Amino acid sequence: MTIAWVAAGIVLGALAGSFGATLALRWARDNSVVHGRSHCDTCGIRVPAHRLVPILSFVAAGGRCGSCGGAIDRRHLAMECACALIGGVALAIRPDAAGLAGALFGWMLAVLALLDLDHFWLPDALVLPLALIGVAGGVAGLDPSLADRLIGAASGLLALGLIAWSYRRLRKRVGLGQGDAKLVGAIGAWLGWRALPWVVLIAALIGLGWCAYAIVRGRRFGPTDRLPLGTLLAMAAWPFWLFDAAASGGG
């Protein structure tokens, strides 16, 4: 049964990654992913169904469009592989409804991470459903409790929102986007209030490591340089869910 759950997680994850990559890459360009068929971003020709198999189609085509030979954005492959890994690992650790919920948490965070990395944008249309699904998990009886999730959602939103407001009042410029505060609230709705300090700390450490690597590579940072905090939070939040799920006795 565990093998079946893992296989299902990998397949569903690859499909989720394919959709998520298309959503993230087109959304910022105001291209709909809901209406119309998939098409090549270079020549615009519609992609036939047999070339839409996640991961395998990209590898078989050598990363290029079968019609014009234009390069396919490698972020499609990266997202499909990442989401397949998320689904497989989540359901290996928790081969049950909690594991499926955790996989969904990871898939949605992956899309938000890509959007923030590329555009410093965390759309409400994705963050709000993430928060609502997290609360729904508490209603369904999944750990942590509904009360912990609600407190996490409120405290995460208010704490980061207050920091953003204070920075803007003191420095007269935006230092922390409201989207980041909403994302922390959504993460709190999934992980509960006790997890939030750890998630923020881990995200900060990842950011410091990111900066250190960039400095070693010769980059200089100024006072107005930005980091995609939403991406860092996503990178911290899902592994936290994973380790918590493993510690709670899954799979």
Q: Domain map of the chain by residue range? A: 1-95, 121-246
Query: What DSSP character marks residue 4?
Result: H
Residues present in the chain in total:
251
Model confidence, pTM: 0.90
Residue by residue, pLDDT tens for the chain (251 residues) are 689 999 999 999 999 999 999 899 888 666 555 555 566 666 667 776 667 789 998 898 888 877 677 788 899 999 999 999 999 999 999 999 999 999 999 999 999 999 999 999 999 999 999 999 999 999 999 999 999 999 999 999 999 888 888 877 787 777 677 899 999 999 999 999 999 999 999 999 999 999 999 999 888 887 778 889 999 999 999 999 999 998 876 44
Q: How many CB atoms lie within 10 A of CB 63?
A: 14
Rounded Cα–Cα distance for residues 74 and 43 (Å): 17
Q: Are 106 and 84 in contact (CB under 8 A)?
A: no
Please choose, from the candidates 105, 116, 108, the residue with its C-alpha nearest in 3D space to the C-alpha of residue 192: 105
Rounded Cα–Cα distance for residues 220 and 240 (Å): 31
Q: In the prediction, which pLDDT does 33 show? A: 54
Q: Are 24 and 114 in contact (CB under 8 A)?
A: yes
Q: In the prediction, which pLDDT does 36 show? A: 54
Q: In the prediction, which pLDDT does 19 show? A: 93
Q: What are the b/e assignments for 220-235, b being 16+ CB within 10 Å? A: eeeeeeebbbbbbbbb
Rounded Cα–Cα distance for residues 164 and 178 (Å): 7
| Token couple for 88 | 């497989």
Q: In the prediction, which pLDDT does 170 show? A: 81
Q: In the prediction, which pLDDT does 44 show? A: 66
Q: Which residues pair with 71 in a beta bridge?
A: 64
Q: In the prediction, which pLDDT does 97 show? A: 93
Q: List all residues 6 or more positions away from 33 whose beta carbon is below 8 Å from its beta carbon.
A: 19, 22, 23, 26, 27
